[in-house]
Amino acid sequence: MSRILTVAAAQLGPIQRADTRASVVRRLCDLLRQAAGHGCDLVVFPELALTTFFPRWYTEDQTEIDAFFETALPSAETAPLFALAGALKVGFCLGYAELVEEDGRLRRFNTSVIVDKSGEIVLKYRKIHLPGHAEHEPWRAFQHLEKRYFEVGNLNWPVRRIMGGVLGMAICNDRRWPETYRVMGLKGVEMVLIGYNTPRHNPPAPDHDRLSEFHNQLSMQAGAYQNGTWVVGAAKCGVEEGCEMIGASSIIAPSGQIVAQALTQDDELVLARCDLDMCASYKETTFNFAKHRQPEAYRLIVEQTGAIAPE
Amino acid sequence: MSRILTVAAAQLGPIQRADTRASVVRRLCDLLRQAAGHGCDLVVFPELALTTFFPRWYTEDQTEIDAFFETALPSAETAPLFALAGALKVGFCLGYAELVEEDGRLRRFNTSVIVDKSGEIVLKYRKIHLPGHAEHEPWRAFQHLEKRYFEVGNLNWPVRRIMGGVLGMAICNDRRWPETYRVMGLKGVEMVLIGYNTPRHNPPAPDHDRLSEFHNQLSMQAGAYQNGTWVVGAAKCGVEEGCEMIGASSIIAPSGQIVAQALTQDDELVLARCDLDMCASYKETTFNFAKHRQPEAYRLIVEQTGAIAPE
């Protein structure tokens, strides 16, 4: 048996602040056309794919920040991408900054959506693990103010049957947390779509910088293996406004093996024929959750947030 | 700052059924002496280190099985190891089959203990993730009857300050489950000691066999990185009663990097100077749980055992 979904990770090189959304959408459309030419069903674009990675700047001017947000998707500027997806019959996953009126107030989320082959949004996820900090830390060469500009996502990690597979999403820092994959694993996920923007330099832990790609892939490989799921990670990378971000976009099998990996720091498509039926080989044996999990022993995972060391 | 604990993973080659406990204890003592000669503080021995891996055989004769269990530790046969530890001032971690009268009945656990430099047991763990099956499955070349011969451990994953570090234990299949490391991570663990017996051949999933070492290390590396802890894995390996078991005993840093790894399928000591202060670099930044974890989003991890896929 096999159930092939041909998937591309569409890595993006840098997007400078002066780049217009229209110019970015043209790059996304180019990648989508490449993917269609290779018979892909689905293209995964990075997190916050429509603009530069704005959480690197501190400002108290909300208007300046809101200019990086989308109030509608599709919008006039992004409509060509949706139309092209429908015309080419290729779905995609796209990350963007979402500004929405909800519960009677304006709310801002770091969001991604899956768009099906008809060009319709069929699933939405809002990032749960916001990294960085909420206040200005001027000692950093670059800020990482996701905790300031976004709320924690309120949709949990939804999964849904799309294109014949059980698909879910995570965003950037989510991929380092095993809870992310496990929650979706418990919902039967067969492919996790992940966009990311990861600065090479982590100011609070500069000695980790040279391990960035290793940690990126270790986290995604473990998440794949431990839940018997495909994982597709797509980076925005290269030097963006003077800040270097890692690439290493990857497609990872339920075995944890990397089956495709980007080599450049620029716009680049990597793809793989992903057999969703390979998931069962893990989900029904080593990671048969019903047989082997012991939730009673895991209570601390939800009952405690921070670590508490013994006296 | 540095807080060095010099640790050895003491891999064991095969123990055949005819081998006496006395002969095994002599091998353990040899390895302990080697470790002392290299200035080690602590030696990690494998799971069920005193006998052959008996869950590979099905029997309804409980007496036959109970012969593989310890009713006391130390016992007459194991006392020399404890005495040597005290004499050499080297602690150890040892896995064994524990037969105990508890709650008014005989109970059997797959257990490990940490023994300090005075030769005293200071921490006990009973394996929670029992792999395999409970009933005879004669189609398998080798059975894996841990679910038959052991109860699920009832001590959670305890951690304790020992030799200046926060130490905890896991056993074999536990190491594949991110929950194992996370529960101890929430208790501030700085070093997880893991013994294992892992047959190369997994009858329900033979296509995974060639990936055994990769999965072994991927799981331990991810657990180390995602919790900012050292992980020490010690295998019983080689061909035991015709059954091949993997080696690849490893010492893994809080970065997820492998810093020492066994090369043989036999008794072999690998060691590393482990700076426990390296943990903080991860625990206080990327994996600062208090700042970044979102337990409310993780509820499914304790509320559901098996996977439930969408319609």
- Per-residue pLDDT tens over the stretch B30-63: 999 999 999 999 999 999 999 999 999 999 999 9
| Whole-angstrom distance, CA of residue B201 vs CA of residue B139 | 13
Q: Which of B47, B70, B240, B268 is catalytic?
A: B47
Whether residue B302 and residue A304 make contact (CB cut-off 8 A), yes or no, is: no
pLDDT above 90: residue B1 = no
Whether residue A205 and residue B305 make contact (CB cut-off 8 A), yes or no, is: no
Active site residue B47: yes
Average pLDDT over residues B164-186: 98
Q: Which residues of A8-27 are buried (b: 16+ CB within 10 A; e: fewer)?
A: bbbbbbbbeeeeebeebbeb
Q: What is the ipTM of this complex?
A: 0.98
Active site residue A93: no
Q: Can you give the pLDDT at residue A295?
A: 98
Asked if A279 contacts A254 with a C-beta cutoff of 8 angstroms, the reply is yes
In this structure, what token pair is assigned to residue A56? 């690197």
- Per-residue pLDDT tens over the stretch A2-30: 899 999 999 999 999 999 999 999 999 99
Asked if B153 contacts B109 with a C-beta cutoff of 8 angstroms, the reply is yes
User: Between B160, B293, B302, which is nearest A295 by CB?
Assistant: B302
Which residues, numbered 202 to 241 in chain B, qualify as contacts with chain A under a Cβ-Cβ cut-off of 8 Å?
A: 202, 204-205, 207-208, 211, 214-215, 218-219, 221-222, 225-226
| Whole-angstrom distance, CA of residue A112 vs CA of residue B160 | 42
In this structure, what token pair is assigned to residue B129? 């993730």
Q: Can you give the pLDDT at residue B52?
A: 98
Q: What is the DSSP string of B93-120?
A: EEEEEEEEEETTEEEEEEEEEEE-TTS-
For chain B, which domains are there? Answer: 4-303 (3.60.110.10)
Percent of chain B predicted with pLDDT > 90: 99
In this structure, what token pair is assigned to residue B109? 């656990």
Q: Can you give the pLDDT at residue B2?
A: 86
Half-sphere exposure of A20 (CA within 13 A, CB side): 6
Segments of chain A with pLDDT less than 50: none
Give kind and range of the element (H or E) at residue B80.
helix B79-88
Which residues of chain A does B215 touch, with a Cβ-Cβ cutoff of 8 Å? Answer: 225, 255-256
What distance in Å separates residue B269's CA from the closest CA in chain A?
A: 26
Which residues, numbered 139 to 158 in chain A, qualify as contacts with chain B under a Cβ-Cβ cut-off of 8 Å?
A: 152-153, 156-157
| Whole-angstrom distance, CA of residue A172 vs CA of residue B271 | 35
| Whole-angstrom distance, CA of residue B279 vs CA of residue A39 | 46
The mean of the pLDDT values for chain B is 98
Whether residue A219 and residue B221 make contact (CB cut-off 8 A), yes or no, is: no
Which residues of chain B does A157 touch, with a Cβ-Cβ cutoff of 8 Å? Answer: 297
- Per-residue pLDDT tens over the stretch B117-130: 999 999 999 999 99
Q: Can you give the pLDDT at residue A2?
A: 86
